[in-house]
Amino acid sequence: MDGQWDIVISSLQDIYNSNEVSQFDDDPNLKRLNFANLSDEQLQTYLDKFQDHRENVKRAQRLLEAVKSNLDTILDQVPNDDATKGSSNEVGSAGSVSSKSSAGKTTNSIMGRAYWTSQYNLNHDIIVGSEVAYKPRKGGDGEWFHCEVIRISPDGLRFEVRDPEPDELGNTGKVFKCNWKDIILIPPTTATRAQIPNYPAGTKVLARYPETTTFYPAVVIGSKRDGTCRLRFDGEEEVNKETEVARRLVLPYPNVSSSPAKK
């Protein structure tokens, strides 16, 4: 019970913090403004302010939904061991209600948002268990590598991901904290050809190099009938070398001109 209250309090604190970041007080001067007489620069300033406030409101709504979900769980609990043993619901690690599937695995209802999107990649929400390419902000060589999502914040913008590879001592892979701009969703093995169409030849992509867990920039040369991509990786020592990579491990190349997902 204490752990559930901690999640509720944490979510409420996030809402308060988000309002501190993007305040939108009832400014009486705004009511007297004639926007038709403002310059383009002034209009853009107010537009940016309004958009920031809208995003803040949406974030608060998502957090409030997480709070309500946890409060409902607490209120539904009966202080009777016999009555609670048969319950299949439990509180998920990211503050949402989760349930156990018929296979015995726990599924989390919180969904993360995908920032890097493309018409050639799934634009689905990210869930606990999703595979992603992750790029650390500090350390490393600025490369993306294969990870698994293990936790999602109530607002769907912050994640914990785990390196699936154990360390040298055989311990569980390292866990990293990141936000939605640090990861790219990898389509699941069940994705259909319609969901992940072939890239046109010449497309710049990010692909996992065979027999590694690291993604590198590459250019699409073509595609095989089964969807496998024929690629030329940047920096290959062998001139004109082509490498075949499974389609789901070939991701849209992230760059500043890419449009983030809008919801």
In a domain, 236, yes or no: yes
In a domain, 30, yes or no: yes
The pLDDT value given to residue 218: 96
Whether 140 has a pLDDT exceeding 70, the answer reads: no
In a domain, 43, yes or no: yes
Percent of the chain with pLDDT over 90: 34
| Helix runs in 22-91, H state only | 28-31, 40-76, 81-84
pTM: 0.58
Work out how many domains the chain is built from and give that number.
3
In a domain, 102, yes or no: no
Choice between 91 and 161, residue whose per-residue pLDDT is larger: 161
Q: Does residue 168 sit in the same domain as residue 235?
A: no
For the ranges 42-51, 118-127, 188-197, 223-232, which has the lowest average pLDDT?
A: 42-51
Q: Give mean pLDDT, residues 197-216.
A: 94
In a domain, 190, yes or no: no
Question: What pLDDT, in 10s, does the model give residues 147-162?
Answer: 999 999 998 999 999 9
Which of 149, 145, 232, 219 has its CA nearest to residue 188?
149
Going by pLDDT thresholds of 50, 70 and 90, the confidence category of residue 137 is confident
Q: Give mean pLDDT, residues 211-222.
A: 95
Q: Does residue 135 sit in the same domain as residue 161?
A: yes
Highest average pLDDT, of 103-117, 153-167, 203-217, comes from 203-217
The pLDDT value given to residue 113: 87
- CATH code at 247? 2.30.30.140
Q: Are 232 and 198 in contact (CB under 8 A)?
A: no
Of 50, 76, 102, which one is at a domain's C-terminal end? 76
Q: What is the mean pLDDT of the chain?
A: 75
Whether 220 has a pLDDT exceeding 60, the answer reads: yes
In which domain, by residue range, is 120 found?
A: 112-185
In a domain, 96, yes or no: no
User: Exposed, middle or buried, 144 (CB in 10 Å: 0-12/13-18/19+)?
Assistant: buried
> What residues contact 8, with CB distance under 8 A and at least 6 apart?
67, 70, 71, 74
In a domain, 53, yes or no: yes
In a domain, 66, yes or no: yes
Of 54, 76, 98, which one is at a domain's C-terminal end? 76
